[in-house]
Structure 1
Amino acid sequence: MHTVNTLKTVKLLLFLLLLILPCAASANQQDYIEATGIANIVDGRRDTARETALQNAFRRAVEQAVGVLVQSESVVNDFELIKDKICSQSAGYIKKYTISRESFDGDVCTVEIKALVSRVKLEKGLDSHGLLMKKMGKPRIVMLLSEQNATQEKPSFWWGGNSGDIGVAENTIVTKLLQKEFNFVDRDTILSHLKQEGLEGKLYANISNDAAVRILSSGDAEVAIIGQAYAKAGNTAAGTNFRACQATVSARAINTDNGEVLASFTSTATVPHVNAAAGGAQALQKAAGECAEKLQKQILERWKRRVTRSGVVKLVASGLSYAELKEFTALIKERVDEVEDVYERGFSGQTAKLDLEVTGSAKDLAATMSNMEFNGGVVKITSLSANALELQINTK
């Protein structure tokens, strides 16, 4: 009896295994992309033509993978440019491949492959070539970095009206971030707004996050990099004319509409030099270079979390009574798919301040909530920025 039961169990397991294996094989095959590459045979060099056709097949496989990934992200602007940048390095994204068929017909070589494209590497490549920037709406950045070299008596900073030159540290950081396709705003535009507000020359070198949010309220930049860079020179080493020139660059990146800190880092560097000013400049450049690398990694990581997970959008809603607030928050949760949760942060008069945990952007929220009806009134969007939204509930 025991033997009979064992045989039944074995038969059942074999049956289940036969059901599972085709599904597993099908799922595995779905990861592979079929692609065909062709190349002309020149001077009878079949080996060269075969390699060229294989590389062409790699490119076509990666093109297909990029197309699926980009469309799934709903980001198609400048798609051809991004695709060309990625596909020019297509072999680096192929995890493994098999050649299904190869043939030589006249002067043409054809290679058919099944390739497994690394999604992880592809996502990193797309992000490094600007896809992440496009997902975030290409945020504009402004630098608020004061600088004081070893021979200067006080720091220079453009928002104080005492310097029109770009400092060594700022120039280094901007250059590094431009190479990563960050987008910078012309500070002259912001300076003109400061003049209009009568603030030129009245601000300090060591600017606070709140002050930065206030002076950038015109909406000319979505991100500000704030900080200080300074250098000092020590005494000359015994028996030489060299002195240790040390620089410190401390910077943080914030959202200009809500003051949220995206990144922060402090770096130091020491350069021996006979000239204090030249040595200080070199030390500033070295420290700023390291600072730029750390900041860009932190900012990109924060933005990546923002587009793949939930983030916070600050909402100011006017035209509500306190009794209506609970009903309004319930409506948001019910009607706006992007909203995961709502947190009340304050109420005054007929204005409520809310934090919305969302999976989309403030722009998505504005599109969904605009003209939404509530208690006989209509929602009108009055202000919109990258991470904040203001609305007014108007009576019909």
Structure 2
Amino acid sequence: MIGRKLFALCCVIACVLSPVASFGSTVEAQGEAAILDGNRAAARESAKRQLYRNALEKAIGARVEGITEMKDFQVVRDRVFSSSQGLVKDLTITREWVEGDILYLLGRCVVEEKALDGVLGPAVIDALGNPRVVVLVDEVIGGNRPFLVASEGQVESAFQKAGYLMLDKGQLDAIAAKKAEAARISGDDTALAELARDFDADVILYGKGQSSSFTRQKISGQTIHGVRTLFKLKAVIAQTGQSLGVEVPDVRTKGMSEEDGAIKGLKEAADRASLSLVNEVAYALTGGSSGVPGRNVRVTVEGLDFGALRDLEATLRDSPGIVGVYRRSFRSGRLELDVSVDGTAEDVAVILDKAGLEVLDLTAATVGARRVR
């Protein structure tokens, strides 16, 4: 009996330690290289490096459908290639042959998906131009909706750290605020997509969290609440209406009250759900073509009154190549905008110059200007 248990334990350990048991996908690829000065060994090493690159490119294509049609695919690919160490492993050469002066290798290898996501996700997010995101979370604790939503900030923080641009719901007018509250409660995909477009957002993230006590225990006169939390998070792409989501079931926490335990559980569940979705959202935004239209350019303009502000925003929206204009703030005559342009920051600077503004500074992602009186 002991022998059987020991054998079973060894099998489990072998599975855990096996490279194939890790989160990897097996890819077949080919590489080739010229044989220079009869040095077949050097050609073989060069062919192996190309095989690795081809395997990575296949894995990227399998992970993100249509990414090869993305506008900045070459930039994304080069970033992945430059950080390829540890992404490809367990190469098995299945065939080697020579035609003329070219050595060919055919082989199978394992591409580590988690490691690939760690490189590919940030590269895609950056190439998309920091997609604009708005977050809505509906929480219910013990049958009641709390005044403050604990998990919303967790989701915003995770996506902001990943490179997304978080939009401020505080700038909504009364009508839009009512629509946002209705969408928060209903969770309807169509309403969420429409709200995202109202925000001029690329994605709306909608969370639904429910927490309730399942046990109580007195310890040294203090009641400790055991709380069970269920959290769902989905992303709705504004342009396509595509929805993708993740569920974090049965997070169990303890607290001095039901609300205390619930807040802990909701934050933990929101963190886990966000990490599961943060790269998947970027991959979905590639849309199989050029992805999110435009690249975000931060624009600041000094010396404006409100009338001039509205005129400038209208000018930008009506200009060729401008996909969207989002007002971040307007204080003491200083306007700050995020402008999505199907071009470069210099294209935005040209528009501002033609509108009679003096352009003071220009970088790849920012334009600074002031009104000339």
**TM-score, normalised on structure 1?**
0.45
* Higher RCO structure, 1 or 2 (CA under 8 Å, sep 6+): 2
**TM-score, normalised on structure 2?**
0.47
